Amino acid sequence: MVGWTIVMIGIILTVVVVVFMRKQRKAVRIAYWRKQRDVEQQKGEAAARLPESPERSQKMDNAKWSVKRIDGELSRLTGSKR
């Protein structure tokens, strides 16, 4: 009887640790993508301050598409729609 109790406690603890680690890993990924989104948004804002040129347009487009891609990744991770 004591053996089964120890086995069950071990299984429960293992499940709790696995769930906790998975949630922590997901939170780290979300924080990473949010930081990347801020970086790309700042790149777009910096490009907007440049004089009108094809290079400016290209930088702004790259930043815009990167932000959209990152928004998609964030919505996939958080389960929400932006």
Domain count, the chain: 1
How much is the pLDDT for 47? 87
pTM equals 0.72
How much is the pLDDT for 50? 85
How much is the pLDDT for 19? 96
Residue 36: give the domain boundaries: 2-78
How much is the pLDDT for 1? 79
| Pair 33, 70: CB distance under 8 Å | yes
How much is the pLDDT for 25? 94
**Stretches in the chain below the pLDDT threshold 50:** none
